[in-house]
Amino acid sequence: MIETTQEELAIDCFLLAGRLLIQSGAETYRAEDTMLRMASSQGLTDAQSFVTPTGIIFSAGHKRPTRIAQISSRTTDLEKIAFINSVSRKLTAGAITLEEAYEELIRIEHTNLFFPIWVQVLASAIASGCFLIMFNGIWNDVPYAIVIGGVGYLIFLAMHFLTKVKFFAEFTGSLFVGLLSVLVYQAGLGYQLDKIIIGSVMPLVPGLPIANAVRDLMAGHFVSGVAKGMEALLTAFAIGAGIALVLSF
Amino acid sequence: MDWIVQGVLSFLATAAFGVIFNAPKRTLFHCGLVGMTGWMIYYAFIRQGVDEVFASFIGAFVISIVAHMLARQFKTPMIVFSVAGIIPLVPGGLAYNAMRTIVENDYAKSIQYGARVFIISGAIVMGLVFAEVFMQLIFNAIRKRKARLAKVSS
Q: Are residues A206 and A96 in the same domain?
A: no
Identify which of B12, B83, B84 has the shortest CB distance to residue A130: B12
Q: Are residues A136 and A240 in the same domain?
A: yes
Q: Are residues A176 and A87 in the same domain?
A: no
Q: Are residues A74 and A95 in the same domain?
A: yes
Give the count of beta carbons closer than 10 Å to the beta carbon of residue A57: 15
Identify which of B13, B24, B90 has the shortest CB distance to residue A82: B24
Q: Are residues A237 and A196 in the same domain?
A: yes
Chain A: residue nearest B96 by CA? A198
pTM of the model: 0.86
Is the CB of A78 less than 8 angstroms away from the CB of B100? no
Q: Are residues A156 and A209 in the same domain?
A: yes
Where is the domain boundary, A110, A137, A154?
A: A110
pLDDT value, residue A3? 62
The Cα B121–Cα B15 span in angstroms is 22
This model of the complex carries an ipTM of 0.85
Is the CB of B86 less than 8 angstroms away from the CB of A131? no
Residue A132's domain comprises 117-247
Q: Are residues A171 and A106 in the same domain?
A: no
* Helical spans, DSSP H, in chain A: 4-23, 28-41, 78-93, 98-110, 117-134, 142-162, 168-186, 193-201, 207-218, 222-247
Per-residue pLDDT tens over the stretch A62-76: 777 888 989 888 888
Per-residue pLDDT tens over the stretch B16-65: 999 988 888 888 999 999 999 999 999 999 999 899 999 999 999 999 99
Three-state DSSP class for A114?
Answer: coil
Q: Are residues A141 and A50 in the same domain?
A: no
Q: Which of residues 91-110 of B touch A (CB under 8 A)?
A: 92-93, 95-100, 102-103
Q: How many domains does chain A have?
A: 2
Q: Are residues A121 and A230 in the same domain?
A: yes
Where is the domain boundary, A110, A133, A151?
A: A110
Q: How many pairs of residues across A and B have Cβ atoms under 8 Å apart? A: 139
B39 and chain A in contact, CB less than 8 A:
yes
Element (H, E) at B108: helix B107-153
pLDDT value, residue B154? 65
Please check the confidence at residue A57 and state whether its pLDDT lies above 80: yes
Q: Are residues A101 and A179 in the same domain?
A: no
Please check the confidence at residue A200 and state whether its pLDDT lies above 80: yes
Please check the confidence at residue A4 and state whether its pLDDT lies above 80: no
Is the CB of B16 less than 8 angstroms away from the CB of A130? yes
The Cα A62–Cα A59 span in angstroms is 8
Where is the domain boundary, A44, A78, A110?
A: A110
**How far is the first Cα of chain A from the last one, in angstroms, to the nearest whole number?**
68
Q: Are residues A143 and A238 in the same domain?
A: yes
Per-residue pLDDT tens over the stretch B1-27: 788 999 999 999 999 999 988 888 888
Q: Which of B4, B9, B20, B132 to mutate to test the interface with A (most CBs of A within 10 A)?
A: B20
Please check the confidence at residue B152 and state whether its pLDDT lies above 70: yes
For chain B, how long is the longest CA-to-CA vector? 74
Q: Could you tell me which of A117, A120, A140 has the C-alpha nearest to residue A129?
A: A140
CB burial string A110-123: b at 16+ within 10 A, e below: eeeebbeeeebbbb
Three-state SS for A12-79 is HHHHHHHHHHHHCCCCHHHHHHHHHHHHHHCCCCCCEEEEECCEEEEECCCCCCEEEEECCCCCCCHH
Per-residue pLDDT tens over the stretch B68-123: 999 988 888 888 888 888 888 988 888 888 888 888 888 999 999 999 998 998 89
Region A24-53 average pLDDT: 87
Q: Are residues A126 and A233 in the same domain?
A: yes
